[in-house]
Amino acid sequence: MLDAARLVEGGQRHFGRFARTPVANPFDAAPAPARPFEQFRTKEWVGFTLIHPDIASSMIIQDAKYLATSEFYVFHRHTEELFQYAANRLARPLHLPSDLLHSTCAFVSSSYGLGYAFEADKVLIVVNIDATPTAPAVKGRLVLDAAHASPPLVVSARMPCGLMYTNKLIYPVSGVLVCGDRRYAFDSSRDFAILDEHKSHLPYRTKWTWGTFALPVPGGVAGANLCVRPALDGQEEECCIWTPQAAEPLSDVSFTQLREGDDMSAWAIRSADGRVDVTFTPQGHKGVHQNFWLAKIDYTQWFGHYSGTLRGAHETWQVKDVPGVCEHMDARL
């Protein structure tokens, strides 16, 4: 485990798993003539997945350099209604922070507001999105308990024709989210927000399958970050089992759709060492499917529940109907 305070030190980028979240400015490692290209090709985002028994919800603020976007959705599990919100702006980069855990970032327009404030003992998420012709207004203020967050999953790795940096944490969350006439209270003993930060120079042809979930256990939180993407031998994978003590490294994960070609098929997700053996059953999904000849995006995120077995180094947990998400991306960017 690397105990470096910065992703890049002395012009050299660290690769591997970090013991703590570093200051991450990957462009410091690029020679000056190549820096504009690296900045343009690096996709940056900061998002959260909310774990709650009554709703599925995720949010993201992302900077693709030529386009800045933000998205937010709420899926009501009992009525199976899905409401989606989005905002974007062209040619105005967001300049997401390199020292994320001591910063603020936001996407704000006349009718859309989503902001994060990372403080020493908490993270604030503020949502203020107006109603649209297809969705009611959504407002909220969530408080994430940084003092009782999981250990971080921080990975820097070389990829085929690219570089990856990701930082992930699970936070207990309290507060209220209001969607139309429905009010959802978050209980920090039960509910979580899972951070997903990326600063990655993605290859032109980009593919991944990813899933995550979290559950309360004695002593804290357990969960998993599970991912399959093209990788180079010897490079760390973006996978872990979260226990109250550690983000335990994990590798050789497989995703298998139980009914191939069925958008709502369950997924069997397993690690080669047997420490993860779970089934993800979707309840709904959202997607983006666009083809612009040289650029293409086929993206689906499913929201549903995980069941199965999670084996940490010192304890095993039975996972039963735990909320989470799973997604697949196949893109030319």
Q: How far apart are CA 73 and CA 178, in angstroms?
A: 12
pLDDT along the chain (333 residues), means of 10: 96 97 96 92 96 98 90 97 94 86 96 97 98 98 98 97 97 98 98 98 94 97 97 96 97 94 94 98 92 83 98 97 97 84
3 located within any domain: no
* DSSP summary character for residue 101: G
197 located within any domain: yes
Q: Which residues pair with 188 in a beta bridge?
A: none
Q: Residue 127 is part of which domain span?
A: 8-332
Structural domain count, the chain: 1
Q: What is the predicted pLDDT for the residue at 91?
A: 66
238 located within any domain: yes
46 located within any domain: yes
CB 92 within 8 A of CB 84: no
Question: How open is the CA angle 143-148-152, to the nearest 5 degrees?
Answer: 100
CA distances from 133 to 34, 167, 177, 186 (A): 45, 36, 20, 27
Q: Give one DSSP letter per residue of 285-300, joined into a string.
A: EEEEEEEETTEEEEEE
53 located within any domain: yes
**Three-state SS annotation for 198-237:** EEEECCCEEEEEEEEEEEEECCEEEEEEEEECCCCCCCCC
For 38, phi then psi, to 5°, come to -60, -40
Q: Tokens in use for 174?
A: 């309290």
1 located within any domain: no
263: left (phi over 0), alpha (psi -120 to 50) or beta: alpha
Closest CA to 70 of 56, 80, 84: 84
Q: How far apart are CA 196 and CA 181, in angstroms?
A: 29
292 located within any domain: yes
Q: How far apart are CA 199 and CA 44, in angstroms?
A: 4
284 located within any domain: yes
CA distances from 73 to 60, 177, 186, 209, 300 (A): 10, 12, 16, 20, 13
How many H helices and E strands in the chain? Answer: 1, 24
Q: Give one DSSP letter per residue of 10-39, joined into a string.
A: TTEE--EEESSPPB--GGGGS-GGGHHHHH
CA distances from 265 to 58, 225, 269, 326 (A): 21, 20, 13, 12
Contacts of 293 (CB under 8 A, 6+ apart): none
pTM value > 0.95? yes
Q: How far apart are CA 107 and CA 71, in angstroms?
A: 10
Q: Give one DSSP letter per residue of 251-293, joined into a string.
A: --EEEEESSTT-TT--EEEEETTSSEEEEEEEEEEEEEEEEET
Hey, is 48 helix, strand or coil? strand
